[in-house]
Each structure stands twice: as C-alpha cells, then as structure tokens.
Chain A
Amino acid sequence: MTELTTPISDGEIAKLKVGDTVLISGYILCGRDAVLPRIIKMIEEGLDVGCDLRGQVIFHTAVSPAGVGPTSSNKLEIESSMIPLSKAGVKVHLGKGALHPETISALGELNAVYAVIPPVTALLGSKTSEIRVLQFPELGMEALHLIKADKYPAIIAGAQGRSIYE
C-alpha cells in the first residue's frame, strides 16, 4: 500500500503502476461536470483558481451534506478536463469508470495518473474534514471545493499509458 500526500511529486507518480493500491491524504480538490470546464477556462485565461495545482489531486465528486463519493469520470466534461488539468500540474484524477485509451495515453505522457475509489460515502465521511468552497459557490454542491482527506483508499487504474480496463 503506497501512501500519497499532497502535494505529490513527479518522482512519486513515476513509481506508480496500474493495480497499485494507494492511500491519499492532504488537501485535495473536488469538482465534477458543472465546474471543471469553468476551471479550465480560468486556467486558459491565466486566472488564479485559489490554490496551487502542482502536485494536486482532483476528486470527481460533489460535496454536500450527504458526503462525498465518485461520479463517473468518463462523463464528457470530466474526462476532457484531465489533460488540461494535468498540464497545469494536477497529478492524480480520482473517480470511477473506464476512460478512453487516448486519455490514459495522454496522462502517461504528462506523468499523471487516474485512480478509482470505491463509492463508500459512509466510510469517507470519517476521513474528510476542513471543507471549503474555492470557486463558483453558486454551483452549490457542484462548486470547486477544497477538502482535507485522510487516507482515502484507491486503486491506480491508469498509469504510464497503461489501463486496468485493457
């Protein structure tokens, strides 16, 4: 079991292989289909998204009183965010579901990985703290959030151009 704490270094990412089990800790970003295209636009316009994206994790989830849990990462707006976010420094895209081979290949070239997390909201509740909204509060639970994660369990599903779904 590999422990990863944000910000995650290039060296730590380069060691990860498909099928590795990891525990993710530290401050991580949360966003899904409504907010990620807006974040990409902010990055393209050179605007500050409210935190340093280098070495970051982005968890594809809403953040609500019901808790957190992965939504499907292969939704158009989410999967298309992965390459531009990786170029901006994001190292781990955390969600669920199979991605297109082209996305997995591009993540490998950018030394970023895709990890899947079981949708275990009740367990993640005790591992989540310090929740705050970073951008677009009008989106409610779909705003860009920053949370503190304590050993979120995940499996590396895409790394070095390889996919667990092959």
Chain B
Amino acid sequence: MNETVLRVADALVKAGSTFSDDKIAAYERAIAKETDDKARWVLETILDNARAAKQNLGPLCDDTGIPHLVLEIGKNKSVSGQMLGDIRLGVAEGLRKLPGRPMGIMGDDKKRIDQSGGLDPDSAGVACAPILLRETDEDVIRLNVLMFGGGPAIRAKTYRVFHKHDVQVVLDEIVAWATESVKQLGCSPCTLAVGVGRSHFEAASMMLLAQVEGRYDTQSDMEQEITKRVNESKTGALGLGGDTSVLATFMKVGPQRASGVRIVCLRPCCCFEPRIFSVRLD
C-alpha cells in the first residue's frame, strides 16, 4: 500500500469517528444554553458518544455513510489517473478499517434498485460517489472525505425557487424546507448544508462545498438568520423539543444567471454530520 492509499484510509476513518474542535465547541454552547432537561441530556449523550468514538477510532453512527470526496488541486499541481485509483483504494481500505457498515447492494441495475441482489458482506463494497474536483489558490493537493448518512438524504431537497428579485424570498423558502425536514429527521440537532446554483448539479456541488468550507464559529448574516428561525420551531434534539434544532448553517452561493429562478439544495445534516476530514496528498 502506498502513501496515498494510507493517507486516504486514515482520513476516512477520522471522518467517520471524530468531531472537529469547532463542532465540539458548538455542542458545548448548545448544552450551556439549553433549557429543556431531556434535550440537554440528548446533547450531552451525543457529545459523550463523540468522545468514545474518537478514543476508539470507531464509527460515530452505525450508518457509517456513503463516501463523498472533494479533491482540491493547486495551480502547479497535477493529478494522475494513478492517484485517482489510489484514492479509491484508500477509500476501500478506510471502510474496512472503520469499519463501515456493509451496505453495498450487489447485482444489475434492477437488482440494485429493488435490493434483490443481496448485500455485499465487505464494508469496501460501498462505492464512493463521483469525485468533485475544485481549483485552489493554495499550492496543494487536498482531499476532503465526507461521509453521507441515509437519514439526511431522505429529507434533503433540491428544487427551484422563484426569487422575485428579493433574497428574503429565497431565505424564507430555505427556512420553510429546513423546519419541516429537521422535524422529520429525528437525528437533530442538525447542521444545515445549503447550496445555491444554476442547475441541480451545481446546487448539489455547492451544498458539498458548503460543508468543506463551513465553520461553526464563523457564520454569515444569512447563515445566522436561517439557524435562528429554524430554532424558533423548538423541534429540539432528537425532535423531543428544546432550544437547539440546528447548531449552524453552512451556505455556499455559486454563480447565478439572469433569470427569475435559483436552484437550491438543502441537506439537513444529522447530529454527527458533516462527518468530514481533510488530508493533503502532495
């Protein structure tokens, strides 16, 4: 196994087992201000779980997720087909090591849709999603590994919003979608990942980049407004009521077109997401 494979495998294990420092601080702030006893107990239990997962380098959640990769490439760097192959090998190795839940479905197109082809018993049978490439001004090759669980995927939404030349119209729609999806999710408090683009592909890509760039301790005016308004719903941790339905919002707005429509992608990331770790491969 070469160095790239080992680094990617290690990054995947850390993505699936560790909270970032700013996320831990966000939980501690939420616990300190929570007024509902049940919600506080849930928040404390989630943080205890994060400490146990970090100590064992084991899964935060039994739905270990589908690997999504964002590869950042500096101007003076090049990526070969060999490196992309090594990245995929690293993902497979990381899934075996975590261990990932063996939930890859076998068989042809029809069998993969209706799940009649059976499950691959190998954790590495879970293939990663197509890799998203992005330029960076930094002189690096950096891989961001994100693990996407099934619950947020069920409640996520990508759809057009007619903005009526007023940003508030788009924010109102995001808040309405998020309030409903957080209530349905069950695994709150959420981090809302929002992408705004010109197509469904671009909006979903922005949603991914929002998670790569987002920080709990640095929130824009729009992000703060969305978080505050969704928290007013009092859905709370695990949907049991309380002050913190959403820890933060990570929003990425891409280029827009001259048109009355914006495409918005919203993923209500669960209490463990974004499960992300970044590693340099150069």
**A residues neighboring B (CB under 8 Å):** 19, 21, 34, 61-62, 64-74, 96-98, 116, 118-123, 125-126, 138-142, 153, 155, 157, 164-165
Please state if A141 and B59 are interface contacts (CB–CB under 8 Å). no
Please state if A120 and B45 are interface contacts (CB–CB under 8 Å). yes
Query: What's the least CB distance linking A43 to chain B, in Å?
Result: 23
Q: Tell me whether B269 is interfacial, beta carbon within 8 Å.
A: no
- Which residues of A sit under 8 angstroms from B184, Cβ to Cβ? 74, 97-98
**B residues neighboring A (CB under 8 Å):** 17, 38, 41-42, 45-46, 48-50, 52-53, 56, 58-64, 98-103, 115, 118-119, 121, 123, 150-151, 154, 183-187, 238-241, 270-272
- Which residues of B sit under 8 angstroms from A140, Cβ to Cβ? 102, 118-119, 121
Contact of B240 among A72, A116, A139 (CB under 8 A): A116
Q: Give Cα distance in the complex from A48 to B11, angstroms.
A: 46
Contact of A122 among B42, B49, B121, B150 (CB under 8 A): B49
Please state if A97 and B239 are interface contacts (CB–CB under 8 Å). yes
Please state if A71 and B238 are interface contacts (CB–CB under 8 Å). no
Please state if A121 and B38 are interface contacts (CB–CB under 8 Å). no
- Which residues of A sit under 8 angstroms from B272, Cβ to Cβ? 119
- Which residues of B sit under 8 angstroms from A153, Cβ to Cβ? 45
Please state if A141 and B103 are interface contacts (CB–CB under 8 Å). yes
- Give 11 A-B pairs besides A65-B101, A72-B186, A122-B60 with Cβ atoms closer than 8 angstroms: A62-B103, A64-B103, A70-B186, A119-B272, A121-B53, A121-B62, A122-B49, A123-B52, A125-B58, A141-B102, A142-B119
Query: What's the least CB distance linking B180 to chain A, in Å?
Result: 12
- Which residues of A sit under 8 angstroms from B48, Cβ to Cβ? 120, 123
Q: Give Cα distance in the complex from A113 to B76, angstroms.
A: 61
Contact of A71 among B60, B63, B241 (CB under 8 A): B63
Query: What's the least CB distance linking B217 to chain A, in Å?
Result: 25
- Which residues of B sit under 8 angstroms from A68, Cβ to Cβ? 62
Contact of B62 among A61, A139, A155, A157 (CB under 8 A): A61
- Which residues of B sit under 8 angstroms from A119, Cβ to Cβ? 61-62, 187, 270-272
Please state if A69 and B63 are interface contacts (CB–CB under 8 Å). yes
Query: What's the least CB distance linking A110 to chain B, in Å?
Result: 23
